[in-house]
Structure formats: structure tokens, C-alpha cells
Amino acid sequence: MSSPLTEKQTKLLSLFKLAINNERQAQALYRETLLYCEDESLRTIIESFIREESKHEQALLSKYKEIRKTAGYESVEP
């Protein structure tokens, strides 16, 4: 059984959702950039940015789920 989230937990989850969405938007931006990039060395850098943003997204998502689980809310995706 889950208990109601505190105001701080609610705000924290909201901020995590925002951060996760920002990481996803950054990945989309970098993928779009690749469509116009012809320089191979620059492509390599942009691809590394995509991987880094994906790592950030996964770390944030993991913590988001952990916070929800601690509060008694199992699997709700942001």
C-alpha cells in the first residue's frame, strides 16, 4: 500500500521528470544535428554526446523509480 507523497517528494519527482525529458530532448537535438553533419570527427563527438545524455537519462530514471518505490509507488514511468 502506498502512502501519499510529501510535498518535497512530489517536487523532487517533478524535477526529475523535467530533467529526464531534458536529457531526451538533448539526445533528439544531437540526432538531428547528425543529419546535417558531414565532418567525421565532429560526428564522432556528437555521437559521444548522445551516449552521455543517454547515460544521464538512465541514471535519472533509475533514481526516479527508486524514489517512487521508496514512497510505495512501484513502476510509473515519467
Share of the chain above pLDDT 90, in %: 71
Tell me, yes or no, whether 16 lies in a domain: yes
- Does the structure show a pLDDT above 90 at 48? yes
| Surface-to-core class of residue 44, CB atoms within 10 Å of its CB (0-12 exposed, 13-18 middle, 19+ buried) | exposed
- Does the structure show a pLDDT above 90 at 69? no
Tell me, yes or no, whether 43 lies in a domain: yes
Range of the domain at 44: 7-70
Tell me, yes or no, whether 55 lies in a domain: yes
- pLDDT band with cut points at 50, 70 and 90 for residue 73: low
Tell me, yes or no, whether 14 lies in a domain: yes
Tell me, yes or no, whether 56 lies in a domain: yes
Dump pLDDT digits (tens) for 3-18: 777 898 889 999 999 9
Dump pLDDT digits (tens) for 58-68: 999 999 998 88
